[in-house]
Chains A and B, each alone.
Chain A
């Protein structure tokens, strides 16, 4: 890629890679003035997104989501527990986001990444407040037994827009989730039945809430998110780690399938968000939500 001619500074004598390392902001701004980014993406385009379902055979539901290089593996494990007294006919979901050292050179073993518990909480808030999952569907026997879903998301490659990829993998994992078959045994406790056992065992009592076959959850109001960078007059959709480290103002918009805003998250940053930027970010998020809906739709998700 040829460097533009400028006689005054030493950029014309420097190699592109060196210029990128030494003057990262100027390198990016040269691209932004042409409405492009170094990976030849237009400013409002997200990276290629791939979703794969059902990779982890030991989990009840799993998915791998890749946005560009950012890779997230989500897995759900269901366990039976007693529901709380305040909501006796509701189950529970526990979300945990892990950043193992494999994902980034900044993360070292023994010291958890700063971003991990924050993304964990944001995911948990987003999934629960969007109403994607009806917790009442997770009930088995009212007041006595309900499903607890442990959702673990592992970041395998952290290359920017971690929240977007994590949310996508969580949604895909829930769509892939098959609730295991259980029955009530003599002692009044719920036991899991493996696939090989027969159902005509005399000691098994069938309650109306106990499922006879593996079932899937109905997902409504699926949340889709898009992270953007605000820099001067530019809005960059779906940033990479390099872009995030140079331009530090990130805005994450989460919209659900009925075009309601689940979350508008902006945490500091040099640039302030004015009404025009907010509107543009929401528009970009709408377009992205359509794209993601199509991608999930190809995976046979409702």
Chain B
């Protein structure tokens, strides 16, 4: 039995994606990422000299500032900042620029569900635009569970409210390999099946969680393809300088 979604999407279909980079002129890197109506703006400043207190000076340091669309900054924003900071730290090569701080500022333009994954994708695109060295990209997706046990990807705000549980999952991007073996395997699983970050809300069974992870992994292929196409297009476009 299929779920009927209000906007007519299939359960595994993502909303239309749009990404534009280099939109802010003062920042070293910037990107705007939208999934359907959810839109997030990310700006990257850095690397700047010096690290904050209690941070390891032998590695590059990241700080994330999250600005909501309205209202004061509260615990929700602080949690998002910490999750984003740790995710960025795990994808960037920290030893290239030691004793530096890179600031990532996230501005929520509109929240229509799946906000944290949208922000992670925007931050990734902005980091690429700024030229920060990274091991791979972080591809984020939101997967939620309805009460009849079906998993639905990329919900909008109304769908999020109706669902019993949801999971925000971040994976490394899939690699496009010219060799027939494909990507390297770790413990019999391709590298891009490993979870970088996972945040769940609501109660679900362990099997349901694995179902969400499977669906999320399948979606990373299309998201990675979108990233790749978007970055390659601007490379060929001579009017955009870097």
Contact = CB atoms under 8 A, between A and B. Distances in A.
Interface of A: 106, 114-115, 117-118, 120-122, 124-125, 129-131, 221, 249, 256, 259-276, 278, 282
B83 A268 contact: yes
B201 interface: yes
A273 B54 contact: no
Contact of B198 (A122, A273, A276): A273
Given A117-B78, A266-B195, A267-B83, A275 B189 contact: yes
A265 B199 contact: yes
Ordered nearest first, which 9 A-B pairs have the shortest CB separation?
A272-B194, A268-B86, A268-B90, A121-B75, A117-B78, A273-B195, A117-B75, A268-B87, A267-B86
A267 B187 contact: no
Contacts of A114: 78, 82
A194 B197 CA distance: 50
A249 B174 CA distance: 22
A261 B74 CA distance: 27
A276 B205 CA distance: 17
Nearest to A255: B206
Contacts of B178: none
B206 A269 contact: no
Contacts of A261: 200, 203-206, 208-209
Majority-rule SS of A interface residues: mixed
Contact of B193 (A260, A268, A271, A274): A274
A274 B189 contact: yes
B199 A256 contact: no
Nearest to B89: A268
Contact of B213 (A124, A278, A282): A278
Contacts of A131: 203
Contacts of A265: 198-200
9 contacts: A114-B78, A121-B75, A121-B76, A129-B203, A264-B198, A267-B197, A268-B196, A271-B194, A273-B194
A272 to B, nearest CB: 3
A267 B199 contact: yes
A125 B167 contact: no
A271 B202 CA distance: 25
A259 B208 CA distance: 12
Nearest to B207: A261
B55 to A, nearest CB: 11
A121 B79 contact: yes
